[in-house]
């Protein structure tokens, strides 16, 4: 998890997956936070695209990634529309109206936690 100056998309995607795998159970983060931690603050959309290709939620907990407001904007890309919320709730994360409650408190900052540069 070093040498992040790389601009190759395949590497970027790989790093996204590694960061997501580091998200603790019961915690959440945002697309922008991940992109920022990877040195591409403006590439939040690409984080979403990377997660869009994820099918193995057990290996890569994509449900723990929401937008900056804590809204489950990616729910429609799961197998079922309710899967994302169900997965979060099964981990103790409260969700109401497609929004993570106590988002500020549950937010996990990859930049701070992984000390990436």
- Contact between 54 and DNA by CB under 7 A: the answer reads yes
Binding mask 55-94 for DNA (x = CB under 7 A): -------xx-x-xxx---xxxxxx-----x----------
Identify residues 4-33 at the interface with DNA (CB under 7 A): 9, 30-33
CB of 22 to DNA, least distance (A): 16
Q: What's the gap between Cα 103 and its chain centre? A: 13
* Cα–Cα distance, 57 to 84 (Å, whole number): 10
Tokens of 91: 């981990």
| Enclosing H/E stretch for 69 | none
CB of 77 to DNA, least distance (A): 4
- Contact between 52 and DNA by CB under 7 A: the answer reads yes
């Amino acid at each position: 998890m070093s040498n992040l100056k790389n601009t190759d998309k395949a590497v970027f995607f790989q790093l996204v997956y590694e960061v997501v795998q580091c998200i603790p159970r019961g915690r959440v983060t945002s697309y922008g936070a991940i992109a920022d931690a990877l040195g591409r603050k403006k590439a939040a959309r690409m984080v979403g695209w990377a997660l869009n290709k994820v099918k193995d939620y057990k290996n890569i907990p994509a449900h723990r990634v929401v937008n900056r407001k804590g809204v489950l904007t990616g729910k429609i890309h799961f197998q079922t529309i309710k899967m994302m919320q169900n997965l979060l709730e099964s981990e103790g994360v409260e969700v109401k109206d497609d929004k993570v409650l106590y988002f500020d408190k549950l937010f996990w900052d990859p930049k701070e936690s992984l000390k990436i540069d």
